[in-house]
Amino acid sequence: MQPIESLKQIKQITIEYFTAAHSARQNGKPVVYVNVFTPVELLYAMDMFPIYPENHAAILGARKMSPAVAPAAEAMGYPIDVCSYARCDFGAIKTGQSPTFGLPKPDLLLVSNCQCGTLAKWFEVLSRHYQVPMVLIDVPHSGRGEPDPAAERYVRAQLEDLVGLTEKITGKTLDQDRFKETIRVSRKASELWTRMLALGTSIPAPMTVFDQFVAMFPIVSQRGTQAAIDFYQALVNELEQRVAQGIGAVENERYRLFWDNLPIWPEMRTLSTFLSDHGAALVTSIYTWAWSKLAVSEDDPFGDWTQQYLYEMNFHLNKRIEHYSQLAREYKLNGFLYHSNRSCKYLSQDIPEVRRAVTEETGVPGVIIEADHNDPRLYTIESIQNQIGSFLELLDVKRIQAAS
């Protein structure tokens, strides 16, 4: 298997980002804790430094540090049923254990609940701990994403109010030209990210979803910066060359699979190797597609953000089924791996119905894997491998039957 050279840049990009994060305040940049779906372009335009506790928690999981830090949060009274991202973050603060030397103290917390209700409670805890203000962008989702003018006015007003808040904190007036430039840079990064995802329709796929998970760091943490554009341009160029040369991420690709829900961060390498050894390529995932929807226009960014938060991020059941069915056709999928994630009940509670409906619509079967995105105490990797192995055998039987 030929490695993707561009991905080697991620280590240095990560080091530079966290180095800048720890020196932000001394360089006159207020530190703002955010979740992944907040208008960071505004923050960058105002010389504020956005930091992602979710991202930090994922790094803890990928470094297999969860069992060392999560129990500290549980000892503080947060039960094991609470999101393992949150428990890892709280535990890292409590124990001081972190591969990034922790996160610098914030000046502000800014969170949107369009993504996940747990995040708002998580940020409330951080707000009390650091004794700094928290701002919630409250997004009232309708049942099936129906247009809601009152909700649009409500969300837009909150977003527009952020301008005054950031000006008060920084003592600066928003430079509209710089704001527009940041939006242009962010949009370019998002377009490159989307191009990268679309290349997965090629047979064989030039990269796997595991590669995409590794490549996520800049689109999450540095959207709105030139660093993200430079990285994704190099990555897309390399992937396009691989497609032209017929180089696949998995040697002798036999199965094209979809990954549902968050990654199982502690098992990235193990699962990647296991699937590759079986000729199975994860070619797309709902998780990575989320960042393809974040570009906004320079003319009306607040209106675009409003539409995104209310409608794009309203991942109701029917929308989910339609989207998965569309991806099954576009990526010529053989199967779905549905991660029933103990820590993400929002994305997991509908999985049995999603599987039934998608298979009925497309004929593509799926297997439900019980695990957790960050806490290896809540699953066994052997059980996951056995489930996937049995599922691949089922796909072989299905293929033989279709050929006879």
pLDDT in tens, 183-225: 999 999 999 999 999 999 999 999 999 999 999 999 988 989 9
- Tens of pLDDT, residue by residue over 224-276, are 999 999 999 999 999 999 999 999 999 999 999 999 999 999 999 999 999 99
| Average of per-residue pLDDT values in the chain | 95
Band the pLDDT of 37: cuts 50, 70, 90. confident
Q: Give the pLDDT score at 2.
A: 78
pLDDT greater than 80 at residue 333: yes
If one counts every other C-beta atom within 10 angstroms of the C-beta of residue 86, the result is: 24
Whole-angstrom distance, CA of residue 105 vs CA of residue 84: 21
Directed axis angle between helix 66-75 and helix 84-95, to 10°?
Answer: 90
Whole-angstrom distance, CA of residue 383 vs CA of residue 246: 34
Longest Cα–Cα distance of the chain, Å, equals 73
Whole-angstrom distance, CA of residue 31 vs CA of residue 50: 6
Measured between alpha carbons, how far apart are the two ends of the chain, in Å? 32
Band the pLDDT of 150: cuts 50, 70, 90. very high
pLDDT greater than 70 at residue 397: yes
- Tens of pLDDT, residue by residue over 382-392, are 999 999 999 99
pTM value > 0.75: yes
Q: Give the pLDDT score at 1.
A: 66
* Residue ranges of domains in the chain: 5-403
Whole-angstrom distance, CA of residue 139 vs CA of residue 154: 8
Q: Give the pLDDT score at 291.
A: 85
Q: Give the pLDDT score at 144.
A: 83
Q: What percent of the chain has pLDDT over 70?
A: 100
* Span 124-150, average pLDDT: 94
Q: Is residue 44 left, alpha or beta, with left meaning phi > 0 and alpha meaning psi from -120 to 50? A: alpha
Per DSSP, which regions of 225-374 are E strands? 255-260, 280-285, 335-341, 366-371
* Span 301-324, average pLDDT: 94
